[in-house]
Amino acid sequence: MKRRSIWMRMRLALGGMAIAAIALPGFVRSGELRAPQNVNVRPTTPESSALTTAAARAQMQGEPEAALRLADRAIRADPRDPWPRYSRGMALARLGQTDESITALSEAEQSFGPKDPWGRSIAMWGQAHTFAQAGRCTQARAAFDRYAGFVVSAEPRSADLARRYAAECGQGPVAPSQP
């Protein structure tokens, strides 16, 4: 199955919002979306993991307020887990709270750290997409360019796509929530 058709199915299922999908090597295999095998992910607490999953589910069901509450609870359960910060950022974006969203996504990016480039790239894309959605094209272009520079060696097509969205910001439909 082609990456684009998988992306379109996810986009329809998620109502056009990002949960966690960046096309880095190993992400798309046999029609399934998953993190690359070589990602060094720190284990989370069971409570944080369950709350983060519930937050993502609430996002997919179009309930950003519930997603935000669940993400905040997950952050309290495990303050070092980056995924609830990502979920919080995306919920805030859906609620139109751009600056707060960018802060949460930046915190997620930093929490993923250097050993999880896949997670960091997802948070970077979320920032770029949030700026583009808000019509803040100068900041969106800078964020898309930063993302492109970060992933270019591992995924040149994703970098090209980000550069295209940077150039097109403000000229039509907003960039999709995942490349």
3-state DSSP percent of the chain in helix, strand and coil, to 5:
65, 0, 35
| 109-138 pLDDT, tens digit each | 999 988 899 999 999 999 999 999 999 999
- pLDDT score of 170: 85
Does residue 74 form part of some domain? yes
Number of domain units in the chain: 1
What's the CATH number where 117 sits? 1.25.40.10
Q: Is residue 177 part of a domain?
A: no
Greatest Cα-to-Cα distance within the chain, rounded to the nearest angstrom:
44
Task: State the DSSP string of 19-82.
Answer: SS----TTSEETTEE---TT--PPP--HHHHHHHHHHHHHHHTT-HHHHHHHHHHHHHH-TT-H
pLDDT of 150 reads 96
What tens digit of pLDDT does each residue of 47-92 get? 999 999 999 999 999 999 999 999 999 999 999 999 999 999 999 9
Question: Is 178 a member of any domain?
Answer: no
Decide if 164 is inside a domain: yes
Q: What one-letter code names the amino acid at 10?
A: M
Quote the domain boundaries for residue 66: 3-168
